[in-house]
Structure 1
Amino acid sequence: MTKISTPLHPDERRRWLPVAALFTVLAPVAVWLGQETSYLPRVWPPFTWAYVVPLAMVAATWIPPRTDVQLRRRRALGTVGCVLAFLYPHMLLVTVLALWAFSGS
């Protein structure tokens, strides 16, 4: 059975705006902090396209929710987007080191 959620009250709909603004500020900070804490000197320009997915997840938080369930999902989506933006350089470093280790050179 699916749970039917009730629409948000018009006053409660405004709660999403500060959260979306917070994620918009946190996403570039997460990108910068991820690059600064990684051992890679800088992420090479072709690899920066992978930031499109986490930043698109953060951009999806700007869609106004109509129900409480959508509000919770958008908050979770923004959180996951910021975490992925932070972890991307670290995942890239682990991938490069694993490929280097398994290449036999």
Structure 2
Amino acid sequence: MNATSSPRPPTARLLAPTWWLAPALFTVAATLGGVWGYRSSPILHGSAWLALPYVVPTALVAASWWPPTRPGAKARGLALGGVGALAALAYAHVATFVLYAVALVLWGFQGGG
């Protein structure tokens, strides 16, 4: 008699490793970092289009949700999630700095008065 082992069902294969824990933490960190960064910057009362670049950190964190199928995929997912969470935290302050720098340069070209 030929004894073959039955393959594990797909749900057991996906739930066995906890690969989803790090992307879930990065999603929470990016959300909280984005909210805190936006609420603590002076562009809070700016127009809604200033929130559009939050799409980039969201895409980076979303890319970390792909299940690791290759040897380097887990490290790539961790790096993308970490960069996305950090970018969500820092975006509002970087945007504020850039807007102030542009305003200062335009004020200088105008003649300073």
TM-score by length of 2: 0.75
- Given the alignment of the two structures, is residue 95 of structure 1 paired with residue 108 of structure 2, yes or no? no
Partner of 2:30: 27
C-alpha separation between the residues in 2 aligned to 1:50 and 1:42?
16
Correspondence for 2:47: 44
Task: Name the amino acid aligned to 1:59.
Answer: A
CA-atom RMSD, angstroms? 1.9
TM-superposed deviation, 1:58: 0.3
* Contact 1:61–1:74 (8 Å) recurs in 2: yes
Query: What SS does structure 2 have at the residue aligned with 1:66?
Result: coil
Shift of 1:38: 2.0
User: 1:1-105 residue pairs with structure 2 within 5 A?
Assistant: 14-104=17-107, 105=112
Deviation at 1:35, TM superposition (A): 1.4
Q: What number of residue pairs does the alignment pair up?
A: 95
Larger Rg: 2
Identity between Structure 1 and Structure 2 (%): 32
**Contact 2:27 2:85 (8 Å CA) reproduced:** no
Question: How far does the alpha carbon of each residue in 1:29-84 deviate from its partner, in whole angstroms, 9 at most, with x for none?
Answer: 01011113323334520111100011010011111011231100110000000100
- Unpaired stretches in structure 2, ≥5 consecutive residues: 1-12
Query: Residues 68, 75 of structure 1: CA spacing in aligned structure 2 closer, same or farther, 3 A cutoff?
Result: same
C-alpha contact 1:35 1:43 (8 A) present in aligned 2: no
Q: Compute the displacement of 1:100 (Å).
A: 1.0
- Find the aligned partners of 2:17 and 2:48 in 1 and give their Cα distance: 38
